[in-house]
Amino acid sequence: MFLARLIVTCCGLLAIGAPGPRPSAAPNTVGRALQRSGGAVVKLYGGRIGREHGYGTGFLVSPDGGIVTSLSLLVAGRNIRAVLDDGRELDARVVRTDEYRQLALLKVDAKDLPHLELMSSETIRIGDTVIALGNWFKIAEGREPVSVIRGILSLRTNLDARRLSQGFDYRGPVLIYDAITSNPGSSGGPLLDVEGRCIGMVGRIVESANTNTRLNYALPSEEIMAFLSEEATANIDERAGPTSASSEQEQGGAQPYVGIKISRLGYHNVSAYVQRVRPGSPAAEAGIQADDLIISINGRRIHDAADYKDLLESLSPGQSARFVLKRGPKVITLDVQIGAQ
């Protein structure tokens, strides 16, 4: 037996207990949203280390078992268990990850599953109602429904936060709301509008770098859609590894060449900035500019010049590499055709 959910009206937290008599009145706003999308929410269980909880939330994005969730230690283990809304427990495997956006795509072997279609977050305005779903504090483990909370969209901004005592890499756009979702297990759950359409994903527990308070935020659906549309990073080692003997012969043992010089800036928090781009180089042709901050290459985080050098040496002439860069307030993605030195 599991404890019944408490109703905390001041926070908008709604209880979903054991099935009871169906009310004669039509479902309210939250009820309609749940009917439309609640069946696509997945409870996840995996690795745990220290203060990292070994449980969380995700949601199905395809009928054949694709699950989006937050990138955490939960998905770093070998054994990941996904519990569907109907109570089925399935093994999940990692398909791809995005270290910058802190996203992971998992896969379970199943068909004809209920799933969410991502809608543009621009369809809601400041002051509109939002609804978040998640398995907070691991209350639901089998067929029990996940927790639900309702709030108001308060702000659209770029995230500036830290996690525990460490910096948080993601600095992109987020949706800030007044519903308290900064709880263990909530990360990775869907954020819905009043029609039950998915407009974002509940983010990880972080603290504002400005106010030192926990933030209740969601990654907007546009970032998730961009992640799902990008090339899978699960095979990074194959794409970025040493060339085969035949390809080495074709390239004549040539070294990979991009045409940028990286400078090391910072002390405790070292970052990799582009100091100079050689005219006519692969980097210049791709659109990389001086003062761009390199966040990752082919999904691998680049911290400084040493990281960049190591990864560059693992690439092959003729290969296409995906650079994620921060240019001013924007995060851009460019594909660079690696040249030969």
Q: Write down the pLDDT at residue 296.
A: 87
Highest mean pLDDT among 161-165, 249-253, 265-269: 161-165
Q: In sequence order, what are the residues at sequence separation of 6 or more whose Cβ sits closer than 8 angstroms to the Cβ of residue 266?
A: none
Q: Write down the pLDDT at residue 54.
A: 80
Q: In angstroms, how far is CA 240 from the centroid of its own chain?
A: 22
SS3 256: strand
Distance of alpha carbon 43 from alpha carbon 34, whole angstroms: 16
Distance of alpha carbon 45 from alpha carbon 47, whole angstroms: 7
* Both structure tokens of 17: 């207990």
Distances (CA, A) of 101 to 62, 84, 266, 272, 276: 20, 25, 22, 18, 27
- pLDDT above 70 as % of the chain: 79
> How many CB atoms within 10 Å of residue 109?
10
Highest mean pLDDT among 141-145, 215-219, 314-318: 215-219
> Please, what sign has the CA dihedral across residues 27, 33, 37, 41?
negative
Q: Which of 76-80, 124-128, 320-324 has the lowest mean pLDDT?
A: 76-80
Mean pLDDT of 254-279: 72
Mean pLDDT of 173-181: 93
Contact 146, 189 (CB under 8 A): yes
The whole-chain average pLDDT of the chain stands at 80
* Both structure tokens of 272: 């990799």
Mean pLDDT of 2-6: 39
Q: Write down the pLDDT at residue 50.
A: 52
SS3 178: coil
* Structural domains of the chain, ranges and CATH numbers in brackets: 1-233 (2.40.10.120), 236-340 (2.30.42.10)
Distance of alpha carbon 323 from alpha carbon 333, whole angstroms: 6
Q: Which of 82, 52, 54 is nearest to 67 (CA)?
A: 82
Distance of alpha carbon 184 from alpha carbon 14, whole angstroms: 17
Distance of alpha carbon 24 from alpha carbon 30, whole angstroms: 16
HSE-CB of 111 using CA atoms within 13 angstroms: 0
Phi-psi region of 268 (alpha: psi -120 to 50; beta: other; left: phi over 0): alpha
Report whether pLDDT(21) > 70: no
Phi-psi region of 317 (alpha: psi -120 to 50; beta: other; left: phi over 0): beta
Report whether pLDDT(241) > 50: no
Backbone φ and ψ for 309, nearest 5 degrees, come out as: -60, -45
Q: Write down the pLDDT at residue 239.
A: 30
* Both structure tokens of 98: 């995005």
